[in-house]
Amino acid sequence: MSLTSTDDALIWAYAKANGFVIVSKDYDFYQRSLLYGHPPKFIYLRIGNNPTSKVIQILIDSFDVMTQFAASATESILVLS
């Protein structure tokens, strides 16, 4: 299922309603997270233009940090670079 053309507000509402964490390179989600806080939590991939293999490696390397972030009651944004 591709969400590339889905409105950000719909993705935000769906993630909030279902307890999901949004992971994206999209700056608009970062701004939305600053404005509205959580839920949903947001992981911002501030990594520029990188191949999919690099994105996957960053996510694998950051698994423990992301797990701790998701479990935190107070944190709403995690920036990975």
Model confidence at 54: pLDDT above 60: yes
Q: Looking at residue 71, what is its pLDDT? A: 96
Answer for the pair 69, 41: CB distance below 8 angstroms, yes or no.
yes
Around Cβ 33, how many Cβ atoms within 10 Å?
21
Domain ranges of the chain: 8-80
pTM value is 0.89
Q: Looking at residue 2, what is its pLDDT? A: 61
